[in-house]
């Protein structure tokens, strides 16, 4: 597929086939993503890919922490409150998911269920964590965001699916201990990756986008 098609057809996948992805394909996805731009070519990103028993053990640890009511400690705080325009888009998403799946994301009980599914990485055979040195500036957060987008597009072009996940950074302190990462690092994002199960109802919904005229100005 060409680049424009790849960007427009990528979507967040929330149900995966159990088939593992060969290591060389996953490494090729990372190899492609590393060509993302960054401030003065600082390349402020690091990657850990989990599979098999390691991924399952991490999932169990996060589920246990959730069950115990352990206080969250993400390295990047949860955003909010939102400006009016962004809050309206969130409300539209919540309403759409409620109408299609009967899932009310405003219900605290549903949020707990959603976290459990997240912590199981939506059944994907692999999980990815993106992290960087905690001393880096906001520019480096922007750069690792570019890397994340490149990684997701490279995966999509390779026939894989991904979903970026904030919930799986809830317990960053414990996750860094599990992954043997020093406290001087900050975990930015987790992702599930694998072959998408496009027959699953969970993958039957795509989010909308605002009209281009609402976000783009033309000056002559």
pLDDT at 160: 98
pLDDT at 105: 81
* Residues 49 and 26 sit within 8 Å (Cβ to Cβ): yes
Give the chain as a DSSP string.
--HHHHHHH--B---B-SPPPPHHHHHHHHHHHTTS--GGG----EEEEEEHHHHHHHHHHHHHHHHHTPPP--SSPPP-PPPHHHHHHHHHHHHHHHHHH---TTSHHHHHHHHHHHHTGGG-SEEEEEEEETT--HHHHHHHHHHHHHHHHHHHHTT-EEEEESGGGTTHHHHHHHTT--TTEEEEEEEEEE-B-TTSGGGS-------HHHH-----
pLDDT at 106: 81
Map out the domains of the chain as residue ranges: 12-79+118-204
pTM reported for the whole predicted model: 0.95
CATH architecture label of 12-79+118-204: 3-Layer(aba) Sandwich (3.40)
Neighbours of 113 (CB within 10 A): 11
Q: Greatest CA separation found in the chain?
A: 59
Q: Of 77, 78, 66, 79, whose CA–CA distance to 174 is shortest? A: 66
End-to-end Cα distance, the chain: 34
Strand order in the sheet with 46-51: 46-51, 126-133, 185-194, 161-165
Q: In which residue ranges of the chain is pLDDT below 70?
A: none
- Output the six-digit token pair for 94: 């919540």
Spell out the residues 6+ positions from residue 36 whose beta carbon is closer than 8 angstroms to its own. 45, 143, 146, 147, 149, 150
């Amino acid at each position: 597929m060409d680049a424009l098609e790849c960007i427009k057809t990528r979507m967040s996948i929330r149900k995966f086939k159990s088939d593992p992805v060969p290591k060389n394909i996953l490494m090729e996805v990372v190899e492609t993503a590393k060509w993302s731009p960054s401030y003065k070519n600082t390349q402020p990103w690091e990657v850990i890919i989990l599979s098999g028993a390691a991924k399952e053990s991490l999932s169990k640890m996060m589920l246990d922490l959730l069950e115990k009511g352990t206080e969250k400690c993400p390295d990047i705080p949860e955003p909010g409150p939102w400006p009016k325009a962004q809050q309206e888009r969130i409300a539209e998403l919540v309403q759409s998911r409620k109408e299609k799946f009967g899932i009310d994301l405003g219900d605290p009980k549903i949020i707990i269920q959603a976290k459990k599914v997240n912590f199981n990485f939506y059944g994907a055979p692999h999980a990815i964590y993106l992290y960087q040195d905690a001393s880096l500036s906001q520019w480096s957060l922007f750069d690792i965001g570019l890397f994340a987008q490149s990684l997701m597009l490279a995966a999509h072009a390779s026939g894989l699916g991904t979903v970026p996940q904030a919930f799986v950074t809830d317990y960053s302190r414990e996750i860094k201990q599990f992954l043997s990462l020093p406290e001087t690092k900050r975990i930015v994002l987790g992702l599930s990756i694998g072959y998408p199960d496009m027959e699953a109802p969970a993958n039957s919904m795509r989010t909308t986008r605002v009209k281009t005229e609402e976000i783009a100005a033309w000056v002559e």
